[in-house]
């Protein structure tokens, strides 16, 4: 009697692992390669099912990987019970590599994306090509509000504080001023002059002081306050300054010092002290008739208006007033300086004429001077310029050696009986010009 043989069935967990093998592998139903019948609970059946699952996950040789465009269809990570780790990353790649159709679909999707990017609008969101001239304009031809923030020509707005500072630096039109158009940014040939330059030319203040007063609102043109730096006006317009500026200017001092040998006129150098250190109350001349009260803060901003070399003595001026400095050492200054010079050597009449006019220093011709004999070994020089060591170098050019030099006058101010190393204030009624 023939016994009826039935095919065993797998349990649910085993069926999940027993994935159908690749098409190239022999099937269980093939007569030549029929798989033996296994027990659903045996270890051999589980091993066969695990091997079939691994073969499905591994990529085939010679098959190129495509690019999957449907990330939502990616299978979740599969945990291997045998290895005890996640295979999700490798499983995701192998799914794409094993499927030739997925590779073709991925390549086609890439080509479609490239074509769509080729026909994007010049600016804005991707979309179909447009034939409108407004869409194809370069960014720099579009209004600022229409430019994309991602454009190379996009320029963000300046911070409010920076924009306000730049606006304050530009000359603005002052209302209520006769000829107000002259105070705006001028044409080169409109006859206007920068306000601070005109104030300096008229002796009201130095250009630096004028700019400071303008910024503080202390300057008026024809009765109207001008507070914009760089403003230009006509030379015929009337300039007035505030009372506060006048008081500040009057509080600035000018000091006359009889500099001794061994002090430099400017900053300390080579271990020699500047002559400004002598400006202390103990060195004030007892016969100074000026009523100005000394204060140590007066030394702040006190600068020499001219030079006198370390081996020379005599009158030197220190001032806080920019008008005085401009008058003495400004371009085109005509204030005379008188010196008494003790020399050694012989001087011919022709060389004396050269000292008066005809010499050059540093490649530049010197301005005419007044040079004559005071006695057998002393010359008197009157100059209207002040190059470095000018008198000593002039004497060397004609064969003379200077053994002593003393400055006795600057403009209308004479050294007089001021002792060496002492100082006095320039009185309110004294001027150099």
The SS3 call for residue 225 is strand
Query: What number of other Cβ atoms are within 10 A of residue 167's Cβ?
Result: 10
Give how far Cα 163 sits from Cα of 160, 184, 268, Å.
5, 19, 43
- What's the rounded Cα separation, in Å, for the pair 238 and 218? 14
DSSP assignment, residue 269?
A: B
Nearest to 92 by CA among 65, 55, 118: 65
Asked if residue 272 lies in contact with residue 310, where contact means CB atoms within 8 angstroms, the answer is: yes
Asked if residue 282 lies in contact with residue 377, where contact means CB atoms within 8 angstroms, the answer is: no
Give how far Cα 340 sits from Cα of 153, 196, 315, 353, Å.
70, 39, 12, 18
CB-hemisphere CA count at 13 Å for 329?
Answer: 16
Asked if residue 241 lies in contact with residue 218, where contact means CB atoms within 8 angstroms, the answer is: yes
The SS3 call for residue 360 is strand
Asked if residue 21 lies in contact with residue 52, where contact means CB atoms within 8 angstroms, the answer is: yes
- What's the rounded Cα separation, in Å, for the pair 405 and 241? 42
Query: What number of other Cβ atoms are within 10 A of residue 269's Cβ?
Result: 10
Query: What number of other Cβ atoms are within 10 A of residue 324's Cβ?
Result: 20
- Active site residue: 270, 288, 309, 331, which one? 309
The SS3 call for residue 338 is strand
Active site residue 72: no
Place of tokens 């969101």: 125
DSSP assignment, residue 39?
A: -
In sequence order, the β-bridge partners of residue 143 are none
Catalytic residue set: 309
């Amino acid at each position: 009697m023939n016994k009826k043989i039935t095919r065993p069935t797998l349990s649910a967990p085993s069926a999940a692992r027993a994935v159908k093998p690749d098409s190239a592998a022999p099937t269980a139903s093939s007569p030549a390669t029929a798989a033996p019948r296994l027990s659903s609970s045996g270890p051999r059946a589980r091993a066969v099912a695990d091997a079939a699952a691994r073969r499905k996950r591994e990529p085939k040789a010679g098959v190129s990987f495509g690019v999957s465009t449907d990330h939502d269809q990616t299978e979740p990570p599969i945990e291997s019970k045998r290895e005890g780790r996640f295979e999700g990353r490798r499983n995701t790649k192998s799914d794409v590599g094993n499927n030739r159709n997925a590779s073709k679909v991925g390549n086609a999707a890439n080509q479609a994306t490239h074509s769509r990017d080729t026909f994007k609008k010049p600016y804005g969101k991707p979309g179909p090509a447009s034939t409108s001239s407004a869409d194809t304009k370069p960014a720099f031809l579009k209004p600022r509000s229409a430019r994309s923030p991602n454009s190379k020509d996009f320029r963000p707005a300046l911070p409010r504080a920076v924009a306000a500072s730049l606006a304050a630096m530009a000359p603005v039109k002052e209302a209520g001023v006769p000829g107000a158009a002259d105070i705006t940014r001028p044409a080169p040939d409109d006859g206007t002059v920068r306000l601070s330059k005109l104030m300096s030319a008229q002796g009201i203040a130095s250009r630096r002081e004028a700019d400071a007063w303008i910024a503080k609102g202390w300057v008026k043109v024809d009765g109207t306050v001008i507070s914009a730096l760089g403003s230009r006006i006509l030379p015929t317009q009337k300039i007035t300054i505030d009372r506060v500026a006048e008081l500040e200017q009057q509080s600035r001092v000018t000091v006359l010092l009889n500099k001794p040998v061994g002090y430099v006129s400017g900053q300390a150098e080579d271990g020699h002290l500047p002559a400004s250190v002598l400006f202390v109350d103990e060195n004030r001349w007892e016969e100074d008739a000026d009523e100005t009260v000394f204060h140590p803060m007066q030394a702040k901003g006190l600068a020499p208006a001219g030079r006198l070399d370390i081996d020379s003595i005599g009158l030197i001026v220190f001032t806080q007033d920019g008008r005085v400095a401009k008058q003495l050492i400004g371009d085109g200054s005509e204030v005379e300086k008188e010196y008494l010079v003790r020399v050694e050597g012989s001087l011919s009449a022709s060389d004396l004429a050269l000292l008066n006019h005809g010499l050059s220093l540093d490649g530049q011709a010197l301005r005419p001077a007044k040079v004559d004999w005071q006695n057998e070994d002393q010359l008197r020089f009157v100059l209207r310029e002040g190059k470095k060591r000018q008198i000593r170098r002039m004497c060397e050019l004609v064969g003379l050696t200077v053994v002593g030099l003393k400055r006795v006058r600057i403009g209308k101010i004479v050294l007089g009986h001021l002792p060496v190393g002492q100082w006095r204030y320039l009185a309110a009624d004294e001027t150099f010009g």
